[in-house]
Amino acid sequence: MARPRKPGRKPPRGEQPAALSPVLARVETGPDGYQYEVRPIAAARALKTYRCPGCDHEIRSGTSHVVVWPTDSPQSGADERRHWHTPCWASRASRGPTRKWS
Ligand SMILES: [Zn+2]
């Protein structure tokens, strides 16, 4: 008679991915091929109106969006930052000149 297998043993600690440090910003490739640091802005923190370079429309205050700035400019000030609609940044790659393959 077979004994039921006990799911007793847990995997040893220390093999989990490092998910403890809250990394808010991430680095992604921008529409021009450069690396950008991307930081999400929560709606409650969006206090000003910005213009999205992706669609050239305003990002109204109170709209959650992303702010990006180039990682290769160490003194990136506010001038280098660009505020994007989140969906515009997500589809930035398809906003460039379309390449036709035939
Ligand atoms: Zn936009």
CA distance 81 to 93: 19
Q: How many domains does the chain have?
A: 1
Q: For the residues 4-12, what does the mean pLDDT come to?
A: 68
- The pLDDT mean for the chain works out to 80
pLDDT value of position 32: 86
Q: For the residues 52-67, what does the mean pLDDT come to?
A: 96
47 within some domain:
yes
Q: Encoding tokens for residue 65? A: 């969006």
Is the pLDDT assigned to residue 15 strictly greater than 60? no
Expressed in angstroms and rounded, the spacing between residue 84 Cα and the centre of ligand 1 is: 6
CA distance 61 to 90: 20
**Residue 86: what are its φ and ψ, rounded to 5°?**
-60, -45
Expressed in angstroms and rounded, the spacing between residue 14 Cα and the centre of ligand 1 is: 42
pLDDT value of position 102: 46
Expressed in angstroms and rounded, the spacing between residue 73 Cα and the centre of ligand 1 is: 24
2 within some domain:
no
Global pTM reads 0.66
Is the pLDDT assigned to residue 42 strictly greater than 90? yes
Expressed in angstroms and rounded, the spacing between residue 6 Cα and the centre of ligand 1 is: 54
Beta carbons of 95 and 54 less than 8 angstroms apart: yes
18 within some domain:
no
Pairing of strands 50-51, 35-41: unpaired
